[in-house]
Amino acid sequence: MASQVRFDYSLASNVISEDEIKSMEKITNDAKDVLLSKSGAGSDFLGWIDLPVDYDKDEFARIQKAAQKIQSDSEVLLVIGIGGSYLGARAAIEFLRHGFYNSVSKEIRKTPEIYYCGNSLSGTYLKQLIEVVGDRDFSVNIISKSGTTTEPAVAFRIFKEMLENKYGKEEAAKRIYATTDKAKGALKNLATEEGYETFVVPDDVGGRFSVLTAVGLLPIAVSGADITKLMEGAADMRQTCLNKDFAENDSLKYAAIRNILLRKGKSVEILCNYEPSLHYVSEWWKQLFGESEGKDQKGLFPASVDLTTDLHSMGQFIQDGSRIMFETVMELENPSLDVTINEEPVDLDGLNYLSGKTLDFINKSAMKGTQLAHTDGNVPNLSVKLPKQDEFSLGQLFYFFEFACGVSGYILGVNPFNQPGVESYKANMFALLGKPGYEAQREELMKRL
């Protein structure tokens, strides 16, 4: 059997009793039943459950073809999207491909440079990105499920103009790939009008659960990562999540333990990594859990730290500040690359005690030491073990967290699949920008500024 992403809470066993687990097991199994029987709130957004086995195979082939075309005719790919239309692709590419992807030589990378935009409203960022693209050949993947989100729409308008000026309208259209709703939204209309190749975000898959649709798959494929293996990993984890009982179902256990800790007053979960390549997996995870659970004045606040880096900035607080948090450590068990420390004839820096040791050994020692120190400081420590830095493991990890998130949301008693709270800032922003239809609200807001 292929090695599995696993969950381990043994270091937290001092704060969680067997009785608590027994009673949460029942609640967790009920939540799983609600999820799988599609009888809970938001049940029209459960397309992600079967996605790893039940996806559009023709579209999948089209994604691979489009990726090859982009690889052959572009030095740069711009991925325009925000939130769920951005974080999954970036998480995968940064985890699976070279840590200095855009900086290494083309001979090493072999695929186009990839830059992300439409994930902020900074003019400086866009201006500088235009400079980076320069006069090189480029393509654009505009990704927006709704097709109406302001940040990506603004960035797209700018790069669409740049493409049309460079290649002419007809040729530019062949370098624009639109991933959006199958029928509605401004982007869909634009794509139909201009003849762009389009990919579909299924109706029943919400943005933050969409990494295994064209949303994530096209940029990931362009980067040279193997999207077939990514789907296989997710499918493998799906089997476990759907079919195994609680005792052998780590995703269910993770959902259960985090809810036990929440009910004990731990209101912040910090996802930790010891590999820089996992940074954007944490960013993806924060949206997944934050938007799914943070509502009705409830939910764990999902935070993240990169370690050991942040031990030198946030370590003090975690060890010794307000006792409001627990940690979930993503542990990469077998990194694909490593470095060994050499012996120096004169031990001037005092590091000879590490000679012959690998960085991974030092890193894991730092991790274990930190886990014990934080446990002693009353920060319960959970761990998610990731066997390898490869597509199969990452596919498993994505599904592991998605399934836990759906179950955990139902344990919490919220609708894990909507995000009504996101609209408030948008309405204010539109009013302040003078968007037609927001006149009354604009007047009210202007009085407050």
Ligand X SMILES: O=P(O)(O)OC[C@H]1O[C@H](O)[C@H](O)[C@@H](O)[C@@H]1O
| Residues with active-site annotation | 291, 426
Nearer to ligand X, 12 or 300 (CB): 300
Strands 76-80 and 381-388: unpaired
Q: Give the x-and-dash track for 289-328 against ligand X (CB under 6 A).
A: --x-------------------------------------
| From 78-86, 101-109, 131-139, 297-305, span contacting ligand X (CB under 6 A) | 78-86
Q: Measure the CA–CA gap between 155 and 163, rounded to whole angstroms.
A: 12
Nearer to ligand X, 213 or 381 (CB): 213
Nearest to 325 by CA among 297, 296, 305, 306: 305
Work out whether 407 is an interface residue with ligand X (CB under 6 A).
Answer: no
Q: Measure the CA–CA gap between 266 and 260, rounded to whole angstroms.
A: 9
Render 180-198 in DSSP notation, one character per residue: E-SS-SHHHHHHHHHT-EE
Work out whether 415 is an interface residue with ligand X (CB under 6 A).
Answer: no
Tokens of 368: 């274990």
Measured from the CB of residue 108, what is the shortest distance to ligand X in angstroms? 32
Measured from the CB of residue 87, what is the shortest distance to ligand X in angstroms? 8
Tokens of 428: 């204010």
Measured from the CB of residue 144, what is the shortest distance to ligand X in angstroms? 3
> DSSP assignment, residue 17?
-
> DSSP assignment, residue 352?
G
Measured from the CB of residue 70, what is the shortest distance to ligand X in angstroms? 20
Nearer to ligand X, 8 or 59 (CB): 59
Q: Give the x-and-dash track for 38-77 against ligand X (CB under 6 A).
A: ----------------------------------------
Nearest to 2 by CA among 416, 395, 338: 395
Nearer to ligand X, 4 or 419 (CB): 419
Give the count of residues interacting with ligand X (CB under 6 A): 14
Q: Measure the CA–CA gap between 277 and 306, rounded to whole angstroms.
A: 10
Nearer to ligand X, 188 or 385 (CB): 188
Measured from the CB of residue 242, what is the shortest distance to ligand X in angstroms? 25
Nearer to ligand X, 145 or 175 (CB): 145
Q: Measure the CA–CA gap between 330 and 311, rounded to whole angstroms.
A: 15
The helix-helix angle for 279-293 and 391-412 (nearest 10°) equals: 20
Binder among 52, 207, 219, 409 for ligand X (CB under 6 A):
207
Q: Measure the CA–CA gap between 177 and 105, rounded to whole angstroms.
A: 26
Q: Which of residues 216-235 bind ligand X (CB under 6 A)?
A: none
Q: Which of residues 119-178 bind ligand X (CB under 6 A)?
A: 144-146, 149, 152
Tokens of 239: 């089997």
Report whether the peptide linkage leading into residue 309 is cis, meaning its omega lies within 30 degrees of zero: no
Q: Residue 320, Cα to own-chain centre: how many angstroms?
A: 29
Binder among 28, 74, 85, 396 for ligand X (CB under 6 A):
85
Measured from the CB of residue 208, what is the shortest distance to ligand X in angstroms? 5
Render 242-280 in DSSP notation, one character per residue: HHS-GGG-HHHHHHHHHHHHHHTT--EEEEEESSGGGHH
Nearer to ligand X, 132 or 422 (CB): 422
Output the CA–CA distances (angstroms, integers) from residue 53 to 35, 48, 65, 83, in the order listed: 18, 10, 20, 25
Work out whether 83 is an interface residue with ligand X (CB under 6 A).
Answer: yes
Work out whether 82 is an interface residue with ligand X (CB under 6 A).
Answer: yes
Work out whether 112 is an interface residue with ligand X (CB under 6 A).
Answer: no
Output the CA–CA distances (angstroms, integers) from residue 168 to 129, 130, 162, 163, 174, in the order listed: 21, 18, 10, 7, 10
Measured from the CB of residue 146, what is the shortest distance to ligand X in angstroms? 3
Q: Where are the beta strands (DSSP E) in 210-300?
A: 268-273
> Which positions lie near ligand X, rule CB under 6 A?
82-85, 144-146, 149, 152, 207-208, 291, 419, 422
